[in-house]
Amino acid sequence: QKHQCCWWNGNSWPYSTAHILRSLATHLRQYSQQNPKITVDNYVSLLEKYAFTQYKDNKPYVAECHSPSGDFWVCDSTNHSEHYMHSTYTDNVLTELLGVLPQSDNTLVIDPLVPKSWDYFAVEDVLYHGNNITFIYDKTGDKYKVGKGLTVYVNEQKVLNEENLKRVVIKVPQIKSQLNDRKKSGNYAVNTYRNGYPRPYASFSDGNPGCTWQAVDGRIFYDYIPSNRWSNYDSKHETDWFAIDFGREKTVSSVHLYVYSDVDTKEGKTDCPTKMVVQYYTEANEWKDADSQVSSPTQCSPNDLNVISFKAIKTTQIRVIFSRNVQKDYYVGITEMEVWSDWPQTPSPDIYEAEDGLVIEAQIERSTSASGHSYVGLIDKSNSRVELS
């Protein structure tokens, strides 16, 4: 067997395997007395085999389906399979193996399914119902130096120590939700439809089709492959810019840039820009630097979030000018650009602007009579649509 994509019977499918593992874990916790032939060692052995399939060329990798008999993926294609990740591997490990069992009330059940041969393990900084949970198992107490057995911390306070590893129920504080107290905000740059507004455009783009839309699709990852970024790779300019046309006036005060670098991972020639400047489009139809710009962090951090804050402006368009490292012949790229600000931006919270919906496959033009000189759409095609919340 070398390649048998989409043969549903016979291949090893990560999603199906993940469900089988979950079923085994549930059986061990709830039905082991009825059928004691299935053991924790059986479960861990299958989980280990599954874990070993999650690689390609000694790197973490999950494609569509794996050979049932050989150590290779059979449903595997470039710029597609690298982020298929349709398994629940994280849950298999954290919830089923290590026993983090969420509850609907103010308790947490911890019930690991680890082999008796394990002398220690640790689960750190799990966010649970607004609380920070850490628990450690140390059979002898020599590994972590916090005591023998199972030790549980809630918000860095020790709440339990059991010498034997067993199922325990932990009470957790009820944290008052701050969601209603927070001011609502929205990302005015995101557009998952790849059509209409907000509309991204750039002074130069690499040869990857649709790369400008990839920078506003809501997905953030820094992998070389699959491509999920805008870059100016192969540009001859010292500076290039990436812009967002909101479609109507917005008041904004910061730009979030998830800067891409494959120099940092030794895979290519795209790296942090030497300088980033935010500009906005004025009523005089010209670009102007935003006032009082502050970058956080002060120096660009590769493959990370970089925020540029500035004095609030009201504009229909915003852009970032990137200066590349010409001496090293490096280019610049972002995997996502976000423009977060207060939402909704209307005179009253009871008013919702129709222009904030999406106008797709329609005639679009700016109207001086519309609120904020917005773009308006004319439904003129069979596949035209206007979407409102």
* Cα gap 389→377, rounded to integer Å: 16
Distance CA 139, CA 244 (A): 56
230 or 58: which carries more pLDDT confidence?
230
What average pLDDT is seen over the chain? 88
* In contact, 296 and 306? CB cutoff 8 Å: yes
pLDDT for 357 equals 47
pLDDT band at 275 (very low <50, low <70, confident <90, very high): very high
- pLDDT, tens digit, for every residue of 149-183? 999 999 999 999 999 999 999 999 988 766 555 56
Tell me which residue has tokens 């030497």.
274
- The Cα 244–Cα 217 span in angstroms is 13
The token pair at 291 is 């006032």
Question: Looking at this protein, which amino acid is placed at residue 162?
Answer: E
| Dist. CA 37–CA 360, nearest whole Å | 59
CATH number of 185-345: 2.60.120.260
Pairing of strands 304-323, 294-296: antiparallel
Residues 308-335 have a mean pLDDT of 97
Dist CA 317 CA 340 (whole Å): 14
Distance CA 65, CA 249 (A): 47
Query: pLDDT at residue 97 above 60?
Result: yes
Confidence at residue 196, expressed as pLDDT on a 0 to 100 scale: 84
Letter string b/e over residues 8-17, b meaning 16 or more CB atoms within 10 A of that residue's CB: eeebbbbeeb
Taking 70 as the threshold, does the pLDDT of residue 384 lie above it? no
C-alpha closest to that of 238 among 328, 336, 335, 337? 328
The string of pLDDT tens digits covering residues 44-68 is: 999 999 999 888 888 888 888 888 8
Tens digits of residue pLDDT in 292-317: 999 999 999 999 999 999 999 999 99
Mean pLDDT of 192-219: 92
- What is the pLDDT at residue 36? 86
Q: Where are the chain's structural domains?
A: 14-93, 103-171, 185-345
HEC profile of the chain:
CCCCCCCCCCCECHHHHHHHHHHHHHHHHHCCCCCCCCCHHHHHHHHHHHHHHCEECCEECCCCEECCCCCCEEECCCCCHHHCCCCCHHHHHHHHHCCEEECCCCEEEECCCCCCCCCEEEEEEEEECCEEEEEEEECCCCCCCCCCEEEEEECCEEEEEECCCCCEEEECCCCCCCCCCCCCEEECCCCCCCCCCCEEEECCCCCCCCHHHHCCCCCCCCCCCCCCCEECCCCCCCEEEEEEEEEEEEEEEEEEEEECCCCCCCCCCECCCCEEEEEEECCCCCEEECCCCEEECCCCCCCEEEEEEEEEEEEEEEEEEEECCCCCCCECEEEEEECEEECCCCCCCCCCCHHHCEEECCEEEECCCCHHHCEEEECCCCCCEEECC
pLDDT of amino acid 353: 57
> Residue 104, exposed/middle/buried by CB under 10 A (0-12, 13-18, 19+)?
exposed
User: Residue 268's pLDDT is what?
Assistant: 96
- Indicate whether 383 pLDDT > 80: no
| Short-list 69, 57, 55, CA closest to 10 | 69
Residue among 28, 30, 54, 31 nearest 42 (CA):
28
pLDDT band with cut points at 50, 70 and 90 for residue 389: very low
Strand partners, 318: 244, 280
Residue 258 burial class via C-beta count within 10 angstroms: exposed 0-12, middle 13-18, buried 19 and up = buried
